[in-house]
Amino acid sequence: MTDTAQAPIVAPRSGPGSAGPWLLTWRRFKKHRLALVSGVVVLMIYFVALFAEIIAPFSTETYSANYTYAPPQLVRMFGTDAEGSTHLFYVNDYTVKIDPISLSRAFETDPNKVIPVGFFVRGEPYKLWNLFDWDVHLFGPQEKGHPFYLFGADRLGRDVFSRTVHGARVSMSIGLVGVTISLLLGIFLGGISGYYGGWIDESVQRLVEFLKSIPTIPLWMGLAAAIPPSLDPLMVYFWITVILSLLGWTDIARVVRGRFLSLRTEDFVVAARLDGCRQQRIIWRHMVPSFMSHIIASVTLAIPGMILAETALSFLGIGLRPPVVSWGVLLKEAQNILAVSSAPWLFLPGLAVVIAVLTLNFLGDGLRDAVDPYAR
């Protein structure tokens, strides 16, 4: 307590020492370099997911029988093509040798054949967000029909890079949607548990303990297997998120409950109550804002778990199924060790998973450290 008896009451939020809680959080967060960088990467991944159609050079289903299991091409700079004109970016074309016995294709990059790569090139038409017809891609081969496989091709000659970019939309959004459902459940159940206490608290806590004691993956598998395979892909997506959040809300509920318990007796809450505020107002105007930052941190830490769970389920073939493209669905292609030993680039979608999970973890860690601006 400051000695308010002598000093006149100072208007709040004036001068450098009284920055708002969000500004203080931001200042602390900025010091955490790794978290800051991770935050930028996470934003970039979501940006890619949002504009997948533009960023991916091809659609998810574009296939080419000539380029099955074609290895990744390297983007090179300053290449001269057959006509003698120089291109800033280019990739080398393949020369294909077909093995006469096994009929498998052996690819070699041909340094003399230059495929110019450009930005904002016209390629396959698509419908952005199912709304706008367009055919401009962020980058791609300047001439339609030329092979352009940054991450190589899969068994049908589909571009793994394009599919990974499209997969980001499903995989990253399933984390967000799942966490939103978990958050609503968690705040609601954790909130009544911490606010009311007594038998409500007791039963919610037992429920949390019960859910935590079941091994999640067998249960998820059981629930996911119950989704009929004939269901519309969108509904499958919906049910998978519901299944994931059914078990995912418990951690958030614990955080919310803990905050409610400790805030219930805080001076400002007691003051608000004595001022005659309605209960809803106390909860939403006084208590929730004061632990919102904690919620954001634990939500960020919950997303990677969801992404991993979806990937695992789809990988096993009981989550999302083709034609839906998610990182898990893509990794299912890598399940066959024989295919992978000749085409290890099928692992590349896994790299996307690792980067997404890693950066989300770092971001969440940084946020958690930064959220308590008044501590210490």
Partner 1 sequence: MFSFILRRILLMIPTLIAISVVTFIVIQLPPGDFLTALTAERAQQNETLDSSLVLALRERYGLDQPWYTQYWLWISGILFRGDFGQSFEWNLPVSSLIWDRLGLTLIVSVTTLVFVWLVSFPVGIYSAVRQHSPGDMIATFLAFLGLAIPNFLMALVLMYFASRFFGQSVGGLFSPEYANAGWSLGRVWDLITHLWLPVLVLGSSGAAALIRIMRANLLDELHKPYVEIARARGVSEARLIFKYPVRVALNPFISTVGWVLPALISGEVITAIVLSLPTAGPLLLNALFSQDMYLAGGLILLLSVLTLVGTLLSDILLAVFDPRIRYT
Q: Please enumerate, as own/partner, the contacts of 295-300 that have beta carbons within 8 Å and a separation of 24 or more.
A: 295/183, 295/187, 295/252, 295/255, 295/256, 296/367, 296/371, 297/364, 297/367, 297/368, 297/371, 298/251, 298/252, 298/255, 298/364, 298/368, 299/179, 299/183, 299/252, 300/360, 300/363, 300/364, 300/367
Q: How far apart are CA 335 and CA 315, in angstroms?
A: 8
Binding of partner 1 by 235 (CB under 8 A): no
Among 308, 324, 367, 370, binds partner 1 (CB under 8 A): 308
Q: Which of 10, 74, 88, 226 binds partner 1 (CB under 8 A)?
A: 226
CA dihedral 202, 208, 213, 217 (to 10 degrees): 160
* 222 contacts partner 1 (rule: CB under 8 A): yes
| Residue 373 neighbours by CB under 8 Å, 6+ apart | 21, 24, 25, 27, 28
Instruction: Point out which span in 16-24, 117-125, 257-265, 355-363 binds partner 1 (CB under 8 A).
Output: 355-363
Q: Would you say 43 or 351 has its CB closer to partner 1?
A: 351
Residue selected from 315, 329, 367, 370 as contacting partner 1 according to rule CB under 8 A: 315
Q: Burial, 44: exposed, middle or buried (Cβ in 10 Å; 0-12, 13-18, 19+)?
A: exposed
**x-or-dash string of contact with partner 1, 254-293, rule CB under 8 A:** ----------------------------------------
Q: How far is CA 279 from the centre of its chain?
A: 36
Of 261, 358, 368, 372, the one binding partner 1 by CB under 8 A: 358
Q: Out of 138, 361, 368, 369, which residue is the one contacting partner 1 (CB under 8 A)?
A: 361
Between the CA of residue 250 and those of 161, 201, 279, 288, 309, what are the distances in Å? Answer: 36, 13, 24, 18, 16
Binding segment for partner 1 (CB under 8 A), chosen from 22-30, 42-50, 179-187, 354-362, is: 354-362
- DSSP-derived 3-state class of residue 201: helix
**Interaction mask 171-210, partner 1, x per CB under 8 A:** --------------------------------------xx
Do 138 and 120 meet the contact criterion of CB atoms below 8 Å apart? yes
Amino acid at 218: P
Per rule CB under 8 A, is residue 231 in the interface with partner 1?
A: no
Q: Is 96 in the site for partner 1 (CB under 8 A)?
A: no
- For the bound state, the minimum distance from the C-beta of residue 77 to partner 1, rounded and expressed in Å, comes to 31
- Give the one residue of 236, 244, 253, 331 binding partner 1; rule: CB under 8 A: 331
Instruction: Find the binder of partner 1 among 353, 367, 370, 371 (CB under 8 A).
Output: 353
Binding site for partner 1 (CB under 8 A): 209-210, 212-219, 221-223, 225-226, 228, 304, 308, 311-312, 315-316, 318, 331, 334-335, 337, 340-341, 344, 347, 350, 353-354, 357-358, 361-362
